[in-house]
Amino acid sequence: MEKKIDEEGYWAMTESVFYCLFDQKRTKAFRSAIKNTVKKGDIVVDMGTGSGVLAMFAVEAGAERVYAVELDRNNIKTLDEIFKINGYQDKIVILEGDVTKIKLPEKVDVVIGEMIATGLIEELQVPAMNNILKYAKKDAKVVLKEYESCVDLVSHRDYLYGHKFKMVRYEIPGIAGSKSIAFSDKIAYSKINFSVFNKDKKISEKIRLVVHKDGIINGIRITGKTFFCDGSDFDYSVAYSFPIILPIDDIKVKNGDEFVVSISYTLCSGFKTLKYSIKK
């Protein structure tokens, strides 16, 4: 996997845009929310346009103009041609730059863009929205409106090839053996509304979880749910917000045992800010 770091320090994986595009469960959910939101003549911004697919959905839905913002030069190189091949070059304006800082040429009616990772630990949805909201008209709609983060206790495979891996793990649909076994209910610990300014937002929560069966737990699972402005919602898919398992030492548990999980991090600032612990 190639990891590219540009001079401003942001990174993107070369293949992530491809995964997003081919993740039809995710992309069709976004298409439906965009179709239900964008009205004829709207001015739209697409934050982190990638393949340009969401920008094109906005034009399909009736947008008069879409500002497609992208930082990654590999993506920028292909976007011009993609929009031309599809006949959208007169409706979509490519803006090369950092969406957390870029100035838009005019105010917009609708904000679209997917820079979301599980729990809003990684990626840049919050700083991107904080900047773009400056260019939102008074009644502007934010398609990805809210994101809820949840936690539960699980048993997750951490032995592979005869070795134990005490590291952050993922449940990715289609990857055999990556699904956890739930040992408690899922409890929501944060709900972020992207249509308002969220400056330096810190998560610092203690969550009480009750185990509902006997066994051994070895992970704290973070999951998320996205709420669109048309009232629909979406949990996760192969390239979007899939569950994260934070490793803990093995704990033998009994039905009814109570635990308190403490979790803290700064939104969209990466795992470097994440701290967590579990206590009986």
Ligand X SMILES: C[S@@+](CC[C@H](N)C(=O)[O-])C[C@H]1O[C@@H](n2cnc3c(N)ncnc32)[C@H](O)[C@@H]1O
Positions that interact with ligand X (CB under 6 A): 10, 12, 16-17, 20-21, 48-51, 53-54, 69-72, 75, 98-100, 114-115, 124
Whose Cβ is closer to ligand X: residue 66's or residue 220's? 66
Smallest gap, in angstroms, from Cβ of residue 226 to ligand X? 12
CB of 173 to ligand X, least distance (A): 16
Instruction: Choose between 203 and 268: whose C-beta lies nearer to ligand X.
Output: 268
- Cβ at position 246, least distance to ligand X in Å: 22
User: Minimum distance between the CB of residue 30 and ligand X, rounded to whole angstroms?
Assistant: 6
In the bound state, the residue with its beta carbon closest to ligand X is 48
Q: Which is nearer to ligand X, 54 or 82 (CB)?
A: 54
Compute the least distance from the CB of residue 106 to ligand X, in Å: 18
SS3 for the chain, per residue?
CCEEECCCCCEEECCHHHHHHHCHHHHHHHHHHHHHHCCCCCEEEEECCCCCHHHHHHHHCCCCEEEEEECCHHHHHHHHHHHHHCCCCCCEEEEECCCCCCCCCCCEEEEEECCCCHHHCCCCHHHHHHHHHHHEEEEEEECEEEEEEEEEEEECCCEECCEECCCCEECCCCCCCCCCEECECCEEEEEEECCCCCCCCEEEEEEEEEECCCEEEEEEEEEEEEEECCCCEECCECCECCCEEEEEEEEEECCCCEEEEEEEEECCCCHHHCEEEEEC
When the beta carbons of 124 and 248 are compared against ligand X, the nearer one is 124
CB nearer ligand X, residue 50 or residue 219? 50
